[in-house]
Amino acid sequence: MPHPCSLPPGLYAAPVTPLPARARLAALVSGALLCLTSCSAATLSAIAPASTAAAPASGLASSAAGAPASPGRALLRVHDPRRVTGTIQGRCTYRDHGQLPDPRCTPGSVDPAVTQSNLRLTICQPGYTKTVRPSASQTDRFKYDVAYPAYGTPRSEKTELDHLVSLELGGSNDAANLWPESPPTPNPKDKVENALHAAVCAGRVKLAAAQDAIASNWLTAEKKLGLDA
């Protein structure tokens, strides 16, 4: 049986008596409906509009890799030595009187170039952080133009633009890893960073475990890793 969407052979081979206008219209409609119900799904799908990906949620830190940061996910991985990347959109809220950042805006991010297998060549190598730390002009610009507005911090307030996952633990310079911290001086977080760095380089703690612990809550990181005894 010929396909309803094809023309029978010899259709115009013999003279055809014209149908009245109303009959011709009815025949055309009937043929069109038959074609639509019989033509293959592949033919119809070929003209359907392509679906679009969902837009990233607003109000989150956006990394250089284009992935929005959000709590409960693995740490973002951004390779950005000596440069600040990403931005913060929306409003952020400090926790614990400025000692902890907003996990939606500053969930932490790490440099994928630092791995468990190359510690001796990266973070455990003396002087490593100098090779990846951005210039003061970059960090100051990010601090005052991006981080302060996002966290609602007055420009007159003195803070430290801190890496949530420190550079000595393989943290990146992405917006997801930076926030204006208001700790006492000297900063008690520095002692935690040093303790975790020493434990990782001594082989007592895995790199990923140290990164996750300090990103989640640097106040409890040593206890979580069993280093506070």
- List per-residue pLDDT tens for the chain, 229 residues long: 444 444 344 433 334 344 455 555 455 444 444 333 443 333 323 323 332 223 333 447 776 544 444 445 689 999 999 999 999 999 999 999 879 999 999 999 999 999 999 999 999 999 999 999 999 999 999 999 999 999 999 999 999 999 999 999 999 999 999 999 987 878 999 999 999 999 999 999 999 999 999 999 999 999 999 998 7
Helix axes 188-201, 207-216, angle to 10 degrees: 160
Is residue 25 a part of any domain in this protein?
Answer: no
Q: Is residue 42 part of a domain?
A: no
User: Is 203 contained in some domain?
Assistant: no
**Would 137 be classed as within a structural domain?**
yes
CB 192 within 8 A of CB 166: no
Give how many domains the chain has, as a whole number.
1
Range of the domain at 109: 76-184
Judge whether 173 lies within some domain. yes
161 in any annotated domain: yes
pLDDT of residue 185: 78
In a domain, residue 45? The reply is no
Q: Please list, residue by residue across 201-210, b when 16 or more beta carbons sit within 10 angstroms of its beta carbon and e when fewer do.
A: beeebebeeb
Residue 61 lies inside a defined structural domain of this protein: no
The answer for 197, left when phi > 0, alpha when psi is -120 to 50, beta otherwise, is alpha
